[in-house]
């Protein structure tokens, strides 16, 4: 901590002590505000220059600016809805003006007064009285807006939200998107459910899990990588339309589109297949865009994206062919040779399905800019999806790609317990060979399938990536309130705390 900052902190603590010495509680319990900043701007918009409203109003918020050191002072008070200018005079407030004069930017106060319009045309509240609601002990940053060191903004998101309205707007839109999706599904007869976050075994997606340990049961547990297998158990149990929106955890790298924990929605509908789910996916995203943005022609990172439906549908094999990689009808050896020629490393250790997926990841996905369904994937990389009804070695699966990012993944769900058991066995072999992302042999899930699961379409949508697209944010960190960061030394647990946690 710099000497300059230390001195500023000391000054604020001195002011805190001064308030207490005067018998003022710098951290009171409650305050009743009659109006918000946004409501003032709306309700009193017709007041003319020099006029003052008769009605007294009370507001509460954070003091964001303050100018004037004599017997009068202007400032801006910020609440959840925005900012309003305030004006305080010694001849109005009286003896309390000495306390008001010593307020710091960042202090939270309640004010009472009358609204008027200044000569410059700005609606302003003339302060008749004020109450200290929280003394800020840390100065607001002077040059935080537009700060290039985004890491600092992510670490201190509370400051970022405080001083950057556009950042706050992103998270307001995020909440609205989530709420809208919930309502959309509920209106279509879907039931929201909750399933465990702690799993006895990993499953539901190809990803490396986080592991933990339950002391009382003396057993390992996994933070869920997907809720899929539990939700399909509910379909077996008789629920025909269910969804779950929540966090999943994957022990993978961090990038502009990856965070160790993130939000997804998984949706399952009995008596539907992946064609039905494609239509549902379009409807969900189009509805969200139309409601939140008012248009289907959006901009993402300077690029125009048109969400008007129907969206392009193309098989994975045809998408590769469009890039000059023709694997249709080729033998496994030929596909391996093509991959090697294209620079895919470790082909001798990969199954042919993973090789095809690697070719797709390397040469296709990033170039898919407009909404595109990549359909019909290799069976090897889709152990929970139903075999394609007419294409050997493939499954009825799609991924939705927008702006080079996968936003959704969906199947005609595999409901043949014998086929599923065989797929799990092959996954177990891959796991034994060192593939940490392979599915586990889930005997209870197989038992559930043996009771009978109706034909089902399942869908998973990455909420964070959808919000990125709809709010034009370049990184997943910009749509997560508190993205994962490597902690600074002062934020890490002490050696003593580590010892306690390890016991």
For the annotated binding site, the residues are 399, 406
**What are the Cα distances from residue 190, in Å, to 186, 233, 289?**
5, 16, 21
Distance of CA 201 to the CA centre of its chain: 26
Cis upstream peptide for 326 (omega within 30°): no
User: CA 224 from chain center: how many Å?
Assistant: 17
CB 112 within 8 A of CB 86: no
Q: Which two tokens stand for residue 326?
A: 């023709």
Task: Look up residue 422 and give its two tokens.
Answer: 């065989």
Three-class secondary structure of residue 103 per DSSP: coil
Taking the CA of residue 54 as centre, how many other CA atoms within 13 Å lie in the half-sphere pointing to its CB?
0
Angle 274-261-459 from CA coordinates, rounded to 5°: 10
CA distance 199 to 207: 14
Burial (CB < 10 A; 0-12, 13-18, 19+), residue 418, is: exposed
SS3 category, 418: helix
Continuous segment of H or E residues that includes residue 169: helix 165-187
Q: Which helix (H) or strand (E) element contains residue 462? A: strand 456-462
- Lookup result for tokens 């539907």: 272
User: 3-state DSSP helix/strand/coil percent for the chain, to nearest 5?
Assistant: 35, 25, 35
Nearest by Cα to 116 from 126, 107, 108, 106: 126
Contact by Cβ (8 Å): 375, 314: yes
Binding residues for Mg(2+) are 399, 406
What is the DSSP code string of 221-238?
EEE-S-SHHHHHHHHHHT
Q: Which two tokens stand for residue 97?
A: 């003006």
| CA angle (341 as vertex; 340, 342 as ends), nearest 5 | 90
Q: How far does CA 19 lie from the centroid of its chain?
A: 41
Core vs surface per residue 350-376: b (16+ CB within 10 A) or e: bebbbbbbbbbeebbbeebeebbbbbb
Give the closest residue to 124 by CA, choosing from 154, 94, 88: 88
Question: What are the angstrom distances between the C-alpha of 174 and each of 170, 248, 392?
Answer: 6, 18, 41
| Dihedral angle of Cα 353, 355, 360, 361, to the nearest 10 degrees | 110
């Amino acid at each position: 901590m710099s000497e300059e900052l230390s001195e500023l902190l000391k000054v604020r603590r001195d002011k805190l002590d001064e308030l207490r010495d005067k018998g003022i509680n710098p951290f009171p319990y409650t305050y009743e505000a009659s109006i918000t900043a946004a409501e003032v701007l709306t309700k009193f918009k017709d007041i003319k220059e020099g006029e003052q409203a008769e009605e007294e109003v009370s507001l509460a918020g954070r003091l964001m600016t303050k100018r004037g050191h004599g017997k009068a002072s202007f400032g801006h008070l910020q609440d959840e809805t925005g900012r309003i200018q305030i004006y305080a005079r010694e001849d109005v407030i009286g003896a309390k003006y000495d306390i008001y004069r010593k307020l710091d930017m960042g202090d939270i106060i309640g004010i009472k007064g009358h609204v008027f319009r200044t000569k410059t045309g700005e609606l302003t509240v003339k302060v008749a009285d004020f109450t200290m609601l929280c003394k800020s002990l840390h100065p607001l940053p002077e040059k935080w807006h537009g700060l290039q060191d985004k890491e600092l903004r992510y670490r201190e998101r509370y400051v970022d939200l405080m001083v950057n309205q556009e950042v706050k707007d992103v998270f307001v839109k995020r909440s609205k998107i989530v709420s809208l999706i919930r309502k959309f599904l509920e209106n279509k007869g879907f039931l929201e459910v909750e399933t465990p976050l702690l799993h006895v075994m990993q499953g539901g997606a190809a990803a490396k899990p986080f592991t933990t340990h339950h002391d009382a049961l003396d057993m390992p547990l996994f933070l869920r990588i997907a809720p899929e297998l539990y939700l399909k158990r509910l379909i077996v149990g008789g629920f025909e339309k269910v969804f779950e929106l929540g966090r999943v955890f994957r022990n993978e790298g961090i990038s502009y589109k990856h965070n160790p924990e993130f939000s997804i929605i998984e949706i399952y509908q009995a008596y539907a297949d992946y064609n039905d789910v494609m239509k549902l996916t379009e409807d969900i995203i189009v509805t969200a865009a139309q409601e939140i943005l008012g248009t289907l022609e959006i901009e993402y990172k300077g690029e125009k994206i048109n969400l008007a439906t129907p969206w392009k549908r193309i098989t994975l094999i045809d998408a590769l062919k469009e890039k000059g990689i023709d694997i249709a009808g080729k033998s496994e050896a030929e596909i391996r040779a093509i991959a090697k020629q294209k620079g895919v490393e470790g082909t001798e250790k990969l199954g042919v399905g993973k090789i095809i997926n690697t070719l797709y990841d390397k040469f296709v996905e990033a170039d898919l800019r407009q909404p595109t369904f990549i359909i019909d994937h290799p069976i090897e990389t889709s152990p929970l999806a139903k075999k394609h009804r007419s294409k050997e070695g493939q499954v009825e699966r799609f991924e939705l790609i927008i702006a080079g990012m996968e936003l959704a993944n969906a199947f005609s769900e595999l409901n043949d317990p014998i086929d599923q058991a065989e797929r799990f066995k092959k996954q177990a072999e891959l796991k034994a060979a060192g593939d940490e992302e392979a599915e586990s042999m889930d005997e209870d899930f197989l038992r559930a399938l043996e009771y009978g699961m109706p034909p089902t379409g399942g869908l998973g949508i990455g909420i964070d990536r959808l919000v990125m697209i709809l709010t034009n944010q370049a990184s997943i960190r910009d749509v997560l309130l508190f993205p994962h960061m490597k902690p600074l030394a002062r934020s890490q647990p002490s050696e003593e705390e580590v010892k306690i946690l390890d016991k």
